[in-house]
């Protein structure tokens, strides 16, 4: 049995979206940019020393997530005394491509005001010139944590049951349909990118690979699917046209495939293109070859 590669990130950075860059952002670097890491945040630990003020009007609290390109901190918004989540690129990420993708994520998420999409509050510039995306801080668990629970989440997962998971999927579908109606694709839908809040709210997160499609041009900062000439996304869920970089065929059906891949995981316990390596998952995704659910999970 192979290892589940559902958490694998993109293997090659996509080209940068077009649009203006600040002079601070136009520094070059030799870092190999991997934008999907930016949308696959791992849990982090807060440092012992007090964190600095991260921008005028916000004071940092603990770190709540960190990936290969970005970090997420809880922060207090001084004007209201409320806690928010702030996402910013790491200090060493100065590549203009990464900065443009960060801008695109911020704009795409802000344009999609929907009950099942994480709300964006602000986009600010830090004193060191880095961009900072201010969002709602969601208290809860990822859908992945409920599909594959540990001891802490086992009771909540049992209470959810199959019907509960299908209700979550319907709400994710509502959010995706809303985005498609506005010309935006997500391209990295997976249980890890869906949060279930403390009140049962379902929020689609991490729009860092979002692109426009067809004749839609929702904002100059958002790149178009026709520029998707490299593999980006999560191979274990990926649609064949995404794995094959068939940019002329990437559209709403690509996200629908990802939704189907999530349903497959709900029913079988694992993502469809499961393999022992990222390369193996990509090969399966390219062929669109999926083991029958009854074969994967006979019970």
Active-site residue among 4, 95, 188, 206?
A: 188
Residue 71 bridge partners (DSSP): 66, 88
Query: Half-sphere exposure of 193 toward its Cβ, with a 13 Å CA cutoff?
Result: 31
Catalytic residue flag (residue 188): yes
Residue 211 bridge partners (DSSP): 185
| CB contact at 8 A, 276 and 3 | yes
Burial class (CB in 10 A: 0-12, 13-18, 19+), 57: middle
Residue 117 bridge partners (DSSP): 204
Tokens read off for 32: 């190999």
Residue with tokens 């004007």: 79
Catalytically active residues are 188
């Amino acid at each position: 049995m192979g290892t589940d590669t559902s958490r694998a990130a993109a293997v090659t950075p996509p080209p940068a979206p077009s649009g203006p860059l600040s002079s601070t952002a136009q520094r070059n670097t030799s870092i190999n940019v991997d934008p999907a890491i930016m949308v696959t945040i791992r849990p982090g630990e807060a440092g012992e020393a007090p964190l600095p003020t991260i921008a005028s009007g916000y004071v940092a609290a603990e770190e709540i997530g960190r990936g290969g390109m970005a970090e997420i901190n809880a922060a207090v918004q001084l004007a209201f005394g409320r806690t928010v989540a702030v996402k910013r690129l790491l200090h060493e990420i100065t590549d203009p491509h990464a900065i443009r993708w960060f801008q695109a994520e911020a704009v795409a998420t802000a344009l999609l005001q929907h009950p099942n999409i994480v709300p964006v509050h602000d986009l600010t510039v830090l004193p060191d010139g880095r961009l900072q995306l201010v969002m709602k801080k969601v208290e809860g668990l990822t859908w992945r944590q409920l599909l594959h629970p540990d001891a802490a989440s086992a009771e909540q997962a049992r209470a959810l049951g199959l019907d509960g998971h299908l209700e979550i999927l319907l709400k994710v579908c509502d959010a995706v349909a809303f985005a498609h109606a506005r010309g935006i694709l997500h391209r990295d839908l997976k249980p890890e990118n869906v949060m279930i809040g403390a009140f049962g709210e379902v929020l689609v997160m991490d729009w860092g690979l979002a692109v426009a499609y067809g004749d839609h041009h929702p904002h100059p900062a958002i790149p178009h699917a026709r520029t998707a000439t490299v593999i980006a996304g999560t191979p274990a869920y990926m649609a064949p046209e995404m794995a094959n970089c068939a940019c002329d065929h990437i559209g709403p059906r690509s996200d629908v495939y990802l939704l189907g891949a999530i349903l497959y995981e709900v029913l079988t316990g694992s993502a469809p293109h499961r393999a022992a390596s990222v390369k193996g998952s990509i090969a399966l995704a390219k062929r669109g070859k999926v083991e029958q659910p009854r074969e994967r999970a006979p019970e």
